[in-house]
């Protein structure tokens, strides 16, 4: 009998325990037919994509390994040639130059000593001899182990022997104090020329050795450059081959599959999906094609079911119209006889009360009370059915002002029970003012009604929800008789009472109406199970106020007006 909630307040309320249990017990959707097995693969489609990449990666790795080995060998040869040239041959050539210099210094110093007789010239001669020995020792050490340096070492030995002969026959006697005769001078010059010629031959051999290793260094450098170029070419070719492989094995098949799937998504459900490529893509195409085939079957079945649903919806609309008519009848035609029954019973009591005994008057009281309770029950049922049945006025509602009005409406009960109703700062929310007033009146009225020996103490508070920052979380606490947590779900069901009628009056609809009002506004309501003190704490959530709220009036059918809604709010205060 109720229609969909207003579009301004339509929000999916969070699941409560009852809704979760109902979802868990709901029947599962029918099992779909299994997919068709994919078509057998042929040709290159039998090769999986991983095998393509493993094979290409292995070939590329072998080529790179070969290129790296060649480059390493070329670099090693280049380093060896460079080390021999720089660390051995060139230093030996420098020492040969030092040898030549020391020979010239010896000849110059010994002749100066003969002319001048100065001890400094003799010391210079001996210093040059020492330098000669150091140069020869360094050259022999540097040429040791050098491939192709045998001739240079032989020439060095000859030069060393020639210099030693010149020094022994000419320079040493003069340094010892002998006189220089013309014959000795001429013989010394001949020995000097022989030593100098042998030294020049050593220099030529070292130059040839330098040229040999220089050419070898150039050859090794050229080989290194060729190896590096080959490595670069292998890398570039490998990258190009990898791009081509990815394009042929992945991109093109995926593009073809995308085109075919797009054709199906645009409505061509009869379009088959067939691609050639790696096994994975071929298998994917087969699975998607099987899904397409199943979707076509399900679509056909759904089309047939949709027609059935449309017929059932028309039937439900007709039934809903009948229920609306029933609500109208219940609101007017059913209540009129009840009012007559109550009125005539009261008239009988007034006119003939003195003629009735105690039992007769009690029977009349029973009849009047039953008619009034039936009238209240009908009013509550009508109000429950109208919550969310049609669009109502949606506007910003100051809940603080609404609670103040609730205190005023419940003033007689509050004064009679000595109740105290307090509240924190309550926010402004978006909703139906009448329904929200009914919500607070039901909760506060129940808190006052179900009190214990002490005067009722009721407090209403509000704060932002920690789990949902866009929601307000309200609470209504009291010091009454409390509710066992095991009834936390049952109390929100219609006609569920925890106490006899003669103990606490009411119709058993109040909390069911509260739940429907809260869910109509997009929130949820529950009994706080963690409350330890006396009494009861109800909590509920409501959306925070939204900007630009559109206001809509109820699309009335002549059954209600503002005065009727006010009466309904007053009559719905009992649980």
What 8-state DSSP symbol labels residue 410? T
Q: Residue 59 pLDDT > 70, yes or no?
A: yes
The predicted-structure confidence for 460-489, as pLDDT tens digits, reads as follows 999 998 888 888 999 998 888 877 777 778
Query: Domains in the chain and their CATH numbers?
Result: 57-242 (1.20.1420), 391-571 (3.30.565.10)
pLDDT of residue 542: 92
pLDDT of residue 39: 55
Mean pLDDT of the chain: 76
Q: How confident is the model at residue 434 (pLDDT cuts 50, 70, 90)?
A: confident
pLDDT of residue 460: 92
pLDDT of residue 387: 61
pLDDT of residue 324: 61
Rounded Cα gap, residues 253 and 246, in angstroms: 10
Rounded Cα gap, residues 236 and 230, in angstroms: 10
Q: Which long-range contacts (CB under 8 A, 24 or more apart) does 12-21 make?
A: 12/522, 13/518, 13/519, 13/522, 13/523, 13/524, 14/524, 14/541, 16/489, 16/524, 16/526, 17/488, 17/489, 18/489, 18/492
More confident of the two residues 18 and 125? 125
Q: Which of 90-99, 213-222, 297-306, 494-503 has the lowest mean pLDDT?
A: 494-503
Rounded Cα gap, residues 242 and 240, in angstroms: 5
pLDDT of residue 484: 74
pLDDT of residue 292: 72
Q: Residue 390 pLDDT > 60, yes or no?
A: no
The predicted-structure confidence for 496-555, as pLDDT tens digits, reads as follows 666 555 555 556 677 888 888 898 888 989 988 887 778 889 899 999 865 444 334 334
pLDDT of residue 43: 55
The predicted-structure confidence for 226-235, as pLDDT tens digits, reads as follows 888 888 888 8
CA atoms in the 13 A half-sphere facing the CB of 353: 11
Question: What is the radius of gyration, based on Cα positions, of the chain?
Answer: 57
pLDDT of residue 355: 75
Q: How confident is the model at residue 383 (pLDDT cuts 50, 70, 90)?
A: low
pLDDT of residue 294: 74
Q: How confident is the model at residue 401 (pLDDT cuts 50, 70, 90)?
A: very high
Q: What is the mean pLDDT of residues 56-67?
A: 82
Q: Residue 290 pLDDT > 80, yes or no?
A: no
More confident of the two residues 447 and 355? 447
Rounded Cα gap, residues 339 and 345, in angstroms: 10
Q: How confident is the model at residue 34 (pLDDT cuts 50, 70, 90)?
A: low
The predicted-structure confidence for 296-330, as pLDDT tens digits, reads as follows 777 778 888 888 888 888 888 887 667 666 665 66
Task: Tell me the percentage of the chain whose pLDDT exceeds 90.
Answer: 3
Q: Which of 489, 474, 496, 446 is nearest to 541 (CA)?
A: 474
Q: Which residue has the tokens 């290159």?
A: 44
**How many CB atoms sit inside 10 A of residue 161's CB?**
13
Q: What is the mean pLDDT of residues 423-443?
A: 88
**How many CB atoms sit inside 10 A of residue 528's CB?**
15
Tell me the whole-structure pTM to 2 decimals: 0.42
* Chain centroid, CA 354 distance in Å: 85
Q: Which of 117-131, 251-265, 365-379 has the lowest mean pLDDT?
A: 365-379
**How many CB atoms sit inside 10 A of residue 395's CB?**
16
pLDDT of residue 10: 37
Q: Residue 447 pLDDT > 80, yes or no?
A: yes
> Residue 540: phi, psi to the nearest 5?
-150, 160
245, 53 contact by CB (below 8 A): yes
Q: Residue 96 pLDDT > 80, yes or no?
A: yes
């Amino acid at each position: 009998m109720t229609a969909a909630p207003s579009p301004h307040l339509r929000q999916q309320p969070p699941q409560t325990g009852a809704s979760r249990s109902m979802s868990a017990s709901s029947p599962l959707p029918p099992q779909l037919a299994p997919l068709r097995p994919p078509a057998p693969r042929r040709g290159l489609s039998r090769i999986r994509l991983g095998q393509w990449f493993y094979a290409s990666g292995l070939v590329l790795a072998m080529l790179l390994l070969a290129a790296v080995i060649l480059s390493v060998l070329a670099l090693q040869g280049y380093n060896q040639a460079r080390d021999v040239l720089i660390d051995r041959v060139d230093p030996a050539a420098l020492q040969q130059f030092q040898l030549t210099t020391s020979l010239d210094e010896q000849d110059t110093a010994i002749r100066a000593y003969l002319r001048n007789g100065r001890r400094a010239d003799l010391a210079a001669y001996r210093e040059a001899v020492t330098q000669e020995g150091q140069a020869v020792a360094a050259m022999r050490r540097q040429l040791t182990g050098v491939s192709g340096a045998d001739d240079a070492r032989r020439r060095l030995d000859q030069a060393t022997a020639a210099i030693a002969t010149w020094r022994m026959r000419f320079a040493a006697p003069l340094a010892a104090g002998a006189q220089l005769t013309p014959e000795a001078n001429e013989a010394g010059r001949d020995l000097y020329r022989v030593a100098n010629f042998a030294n020049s031959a050593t220099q030529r051999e070292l130059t040839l050795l330098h040229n040999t290793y220089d050419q070898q260094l150039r050859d090794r450098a050229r080989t290194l450059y060729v190896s590096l170029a080959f490595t670069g070419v292998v890398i570039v070719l490998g990258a190009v081959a990898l791009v081509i492989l990815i394009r042929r094995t992945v991109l093109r098949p995926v593009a073809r599959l995308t085109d075919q799937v797009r054709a199906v998504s645009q409505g061509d459900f009869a379009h088959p999906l067939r691609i050639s490529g790696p096994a994975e893509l071929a298998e994917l195409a087969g699975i998607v094609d099987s899904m397409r085939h199943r979707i076509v079957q399900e679509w056909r079945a759904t089309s047939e079911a949709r027609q059935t649903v449309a017929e059932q919806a028309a039937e439900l609309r007709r039934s809903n119209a009948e229920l609306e008519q029933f609500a109208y009848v219940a609101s007017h035609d059913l209540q009129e006889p009840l009012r007559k029954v109550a009125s005539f019973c009261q008239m009988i009591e007034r006119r003939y009360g003195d003629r009735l005994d105690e039992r007769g008057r009690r029977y009349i009281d029973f009849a009047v009370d039953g008619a009034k309770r039936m009238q209240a029950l009908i009013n509550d049922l009508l109000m429950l059915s109208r919550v969310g049945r049609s669009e109502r006025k949606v506007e910003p509602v100051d809940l603080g002002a609404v609670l103040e009005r609730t205190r005023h409406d419940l003033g007689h009960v509050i004064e009679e029970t000595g109740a105290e109703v307090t509240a924190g700062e309550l926010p402004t929310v978006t909703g139906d003012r009448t329904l929200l007033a009914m919500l607070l009146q039901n909760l506060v009225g129940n808190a006052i009604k179900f009190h214990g020996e002490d005067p009722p103490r009721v407090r209403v508070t509000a704060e932002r929800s920690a789990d949902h920052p866009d929601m307000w979380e309200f609470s209504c606490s009291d010091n009454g008789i409390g509710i066992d947590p095991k009834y936390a779900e049952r109390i929100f069901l219609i006609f569920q009472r925890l106490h006899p009628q003669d103990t606490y009056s009411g119709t058993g609809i109040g909390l069911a109406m509260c739940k429907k009002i809260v869910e109509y506004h997009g929130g949820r309501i529950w009994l706080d199970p963690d409350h330890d003190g006396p009494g009861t704490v109800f909590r509920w959530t409501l959306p925070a106020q939204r900007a630009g709220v559109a206001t809509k009036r109820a699309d009335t059918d002549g059954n209600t007006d503002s005065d009727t809604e006010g009466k309904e709010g007053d009559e719905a205060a009992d649980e």
